[in-house]
Amino acid sequence: MVEIDTPNQNCFLVQPRDFQLPEPLPLQCGRALKNANIRFETAGTLNAEGNNAILITHALSGDAHCCGRHTPSDRKPGWWDDMIGPGKWIDTNRYFVICSNVLGGCSGTTGPGSIDPDTGRPYNLNFPVITVHDMVQAQKRLVDHLGVKHLLAVVGGSMGGMQVLEWAVTFPDFVDKVVPIATACCFTPQNIAFDWVAREAIKADPDWKGGDYLPDKPPAKGLGAARMLAHITYLSNESMDRKFGRNLQDKSDPENYGYAFDFDFAVESYLQYQGRSFVERFDANSYFYITRATDYFDLTAETRGDLVAALKDVKSSFLLVSFSSDWLFPTPQSVKIVDALLRNRKEVSFCEIKSSCGHDAFLLEVETLGRMVRDFLATPRRKRA
């Protein structure tokens, strides 16, 4: 995503809003979440029929602010602003776009940093373990509250793609089209392993204090290390080589190593920056809960590993997109879903976009991806026999 670093007086504005669920939300872990709040933003106008809505689902570290700016002086727009807006690939002159911060998040939606109504104190690790299914259940209550009668589409990448798939399976009669991007039907052991190491890094920080850290003294080193590890998985070797190579941070003397353990290489400095900036906007306990939700995600859990059986009742048309250099969610994982849909005689399109940007390509290859999404949204469904 191209980040705009100067104020834009011609931007379109959006405002964060809150919806408190009127009833407790039952969770897959067996508990229920009382007084749950959902932070969300919308762009565009819902039509009289209530069927031009598109739900955008965000990735692990994202939030509800997917497009536009909150004020004209904001230096940066929403995280998918290149994709969504008036006249853009997902055109808010035509569609009513909704994006909410996920359950367990730290950007306004109820999560471990929220106040437990039973104790008057932050939940911290007393917050119930949540799943992608729980996230989608909360989103369904939100779209109902907004007057949506039928979702035209659900679109999202990475963990957002998992939510897209969950929508298609859990609410097959409510969603017309789905676009899972750079995702999979379940986490691989490697994916789970990365999450485990990241959480262990946070736990090793003495400021974590078993999740009961002070808001002004978070486990910054541990969370920063977790983010650095995760960020590596979002890139590709080719993109890192092109951007950094073996360049030293001190360009004034490019052949002189420091012979110490501070960063010498430009890539080390870059990761240090990514970790430090992440700590400023994200909560360590939310990182625990959201990564665990992705670990647990498995569309085939109830069908004993049979993906064909898991997808037999879906009714949405599908557009699946993968990226050639994405090694976190490689193309064969999307092809597996496509094959299961075809065996069920479902309506499905698929494309692997050639890109050297790694997993982050779904945020960066906006023109190619956007053209595909625009055309898919505008194409009428085929009539079933």
Q: Is 176 a catalytic residue?
A: no
Known active-site residue 359: yes
| Pairing state between β 151-157 and 53-57 | parallel
Token pair recorded at residue 146:
């907004």
Cα–Cα distance measured from residue 35 to residue 33, given in angstroms and rounded to the nearest whole number: 7
C-alpha atoms less than 13 angstroms from C-alpha of 207 in its C-beta half-sphere: 13
DSSP 8-state secondary structure symbol assigned to residue 55: E
Count how many Cα atoms sit within 13 Å of the Cα of residue 237 in the half-sphere of its side chain: 1
Catalytic residue among 81, 264, 326, 360: 326
Residue located via tokens 């650095």: 228
Q: Which residue has the tokens 């670093």?
A: 5
Spatial distance between the Cα atoms of 53 and 149, rounded to a whole number of angstroms: 9
Is 231 catalytic? The answer is no
Task: Compute the distance between CA of residue 45 and CA of residue 356 in angstroms, rounded to an integer.
Answer: 36
Q: How far apart are CA 46 and CA 65, in angstroms?
A: 18
The CA distance from 227 to 244, in Å, is: 19
| Strand bridging mode 175-181 / 84-85 | unpaired
Q: What one-character-per-residue DSSP string does 27-74 give?
A: -TTS-EETT-EEEEEEES---TTS--EEEEE--TT--S--SSBSSTT-
Residues in contact with 6: Cβ distance below 8 Å, sequence separation at least 6, in sequence order: 75
Tell me, what amino acid is at 214?
Answer: L
Nearest Cα to Cα of residue 293 among 84, 25, 15, 28: 28
| Catalytic residue chosen out of the listed positions 236, 283, 359, 360 | 359
Query: Pick the catalytic residue: 61, 158, 236, 239?
Result: 158
Task: Show which residues are catalytic.
Answer: 158, 326, 359
